[in-house]
Structure 1
């Protein structure tokens, strides 16, 4: 199956903000629950455990990555049902992300933003976020899950092109 990349890169210098969006025919509260309730995140990203609160850390399992590793994730901001800001550190580096929800009529737009200190790895990072957000769509629609092989390396050139045009 062919998936079209939607990511955009904003900012100047060595870093930037990679933004990927998806739109759902649902209220923001329902989309928020898909992003924050452990039983629902387990379907598309992985389960998490701990006492979630701003300033606290939780453990998140990357259930669809090789080895299904667990990572510590700090909740930097939590403003239900509009904004969730997270920080994570793993062997790949530091990850700072925001999930922003905007309700427009009967639809809610999710804008996922990965704050990049360095855009050199965007050819690998971008396809990964497209894949995970399409997994979220599939989980919400009870549809078949996509295969990562349809995203990488197929989308690598698109995301590297974003870096080159800055």
Structure 2
């Protein structure tokens, strides 16, 4: 497999936003379920436990990572089936993430945004999120799961260029 990087990096008042967009020929309700239901998240990222809802936390076991680490995911905002904003804390740091969904003519667009306080984080996290959004797409269609080695370090140069052009 030879995935093509698509992430965009834009400057913000507090750092930068890393934005990845994918489209799926599926109703928004199905895509939302794959994003939020623990038995469905288990197919692409890992299962979670806890009582979900804005202002609450769940524990996510990241089965695509070595050692299956657990991360605490604080749900900042949730408006089904259009918007989810979480802050995730794991052994690598804190991740401020938003997912926005919209549907038109049976095609759902998913936009993943990582809010970065240090824009240079995109060099390593960009390839990782490319991998996860492609795993998500594979889970939706029952396609073969991508191999992380096709993403990192192969996409690092792309994200270094995005960082350079950010200024």
TM-score in terms of structure 2 length: 0.96
Instruction: Confirm or deny: 8 A CA contact 1:14 1:119 kept in the other structure.
Output: no
**Gaps (5+ residues) in structure 1?**
none
Superposition pairs for residues 19-98 of structure 1, below 5 Å?
19-98=19-98
Query: Tell me, what secondary structure is at the counterpart of 2:86?
Result: strand
The C-alpha deviation readout for 1:22-57, integer Å capped at 9, x for no partner, is 101111111000000101100000000000010000
Q: CA deviation at 1:12?
A: 4.3
C-alpha contact 2:70 2:90 (8 A) present in aligned 1 = no
Q: Which residue of the partner structure matches residue 139 of structure 1?
A: 139
Q: Which residue in the other structure is 2:159 paired with?
A: 159
3-state SS in 1 of match to 2:18 = strand
1:89 CA displacement: 1.9
Q: How does the TM-score come out when normalised to structure 1?
A: 0.97
* Aligned counterparts of 1:111 and 1:72: Cα–Cα separation in 2: 22
Q: Distance in 1 between matches of 2:142 and 2:70?
A: 25
CA RMSD, Structure 1 to Structure 2 (Å): 1.1
- Structure 2: 5+ residue runs without aligned partners? none
Give the structure 2 partner of residue 7 of structure 1: 7
* Alignment correspondent of 2:120: 120
Structure 1 residue 106: deviation in Å?
1.2
Moved more, 82-91 or 35-44: 82-91
Measure, in 1, the Cα distance between the counterparts of 2:52 and 2:13.
34
How many matched pairs? 166
Runs of 4+ aligned residues of structure 1 deviating over 3 Å after TM superposition are none
Contact 1:62 / 1:69 at 8 angstroms: preserved in 2? yes
Alpha-carbon separation, structure 2, partners of 1:10 and 1:104: 26
